[in-house]
Amino acid sequence: MPVWLWIVIAGLATAAMAWRLGASWWKYRGNRVIICPENVRPAGVVVDAVHASATALGGSPELRLSSCSRWPERAGCGQECLAQIQAAPEDCLVRNIVSDWLAGKKCANCGLVFGEISWAGSPPALLGADKKSVEWKRVAADRIPEALAASLPLCFACHTTLTMVREHPELVLDRHRTRT
């Protein structure tokens, strides 16, 4: 067999392994919300995605938590919540929970209908009952369900504007204000 064929086969095998590692890392990265089996309340967790991808080559990845909102008090738990993540890894990802919540909704301030969310450039926000806006990333993962239930959706532009008015009113000119 020619040497170039061995090189091609080795390259394909390496590419397949890299694909498997990357796909496993992508699947298990990010903040998640699970229901803690111990107290049956939401908890924010992060799966050790590097470990999951490293163990994925042998078949099914071995999952373990790298952080939990109930730690350090409950750090010695048996991590039974991993079964929820293994059963539906995309359903407990915070980004997907927020996306599903935003689907078909309008911005509470300007009325813009939420379409595809630009998570990297202009993420949405939440408008609380106190009329203060907060980026969803600033809400602790274990508080996401109650925050979504008590808040209205806000687009990035309105969040930025409201934050500027709240934090630096001296820099804002309100053209809708009546003259005195």
Does 97 lie in the same domain as 73?
no
CA dist 111 → 105, 153, 157 (Å): 9, 10, 12
Report the candidate in 93, 25, 31 with the shortest Cα–Cα distance to residue 68.
31
Q: Residue range 119-132: average pLDDT?
A: 86
- What distance in Å separates the CA atoms of residue 90 and residue 27, rounded to the nearest whole number? 8
Does 98 lie in the same domain as 79?
no
Does 124 lie in the same domain as 55?
no
pLDDT, residue 125, reads 92
Domain end residue (candidates: 74, 89, 104) = 89
Chain mean pLDDT for the chain:
87
Backbone angles phi, psi at 135, to 5 degrees: -65, 140
> Do 104 and 114 touch, CB atoms closer than 8 A?
yes
Residue with tokens 């408008």: 127
Does 22 lie in the same domain as 83?
yes
> Do 3 and 30 touch, CB atoms closer than 8 A?
no
pLDDT, residue 177, reads 60
Does 128 lie in the same domain as 97?
yes
pLDDT, residue 179, reads 57
Does 83 lie in the same domain as 7?
yes
Q: Which residues share a beta bridge with 126?
A: 134, 153
Confidence of residue 108 (pLDDT cuts 50, 70, 90): very high
The count of domains in the chain is 2
Q: Residue range 149-157: average pLDDT?
A: 93
Q: Residue range 146-171: average pLDDT?
A: 90
* Domain assignment of residue 155, given as a range: 93-180
Q: Who wins on pLDDT, 34 or 121?
A: 34
Does 32 lie in the same domain as 83?
yes
Q: Residue range 96-117: average pLDDT?
A: 90
Domain end residue (candidates: 89, 106, 128) = 89
- What distance in Å separates the CA atoms of residue 68 and residue 57, rounded to the nearest whole number? 26
Confidence of residue 155 (pLDDT cuts 50, 70, 90): very high
What does the pLDDT look like over 19-51, one tens digit per residue? 877 788 888 888 999 999 988 999 999 999 888
Predicted TM-score (pTM) of this structure:
0.78
> Do 52 and 46 touch, CB atoms closer than 8 A?
no
- 36 contacts: CB under 8 Å, gap ≥ 6: 42, 43, 70, 81
Say whether the peptide bond before residue 37 is cis (omega within 30 degrees of 0): no
Does 83 lie in the same domain as 3?
yes
- What distance in Å separates the CA atoms of residue 155 and residue 113, rounded to the nearest whole number? 9
E strands in the chain? 31-35, 42-47, 65-68, 125-127, 133-135, 152-154
Does 99 lie in the same domain as 67?
no
> Do 119 and 135 touch, CB atoms closer than 8 A?
no
Lowest mean pLDDT among 74-78, 118-122, 142-146: 118-122
Confidence of residue 81 (pLDDT cuts 50, 70, 90): very high
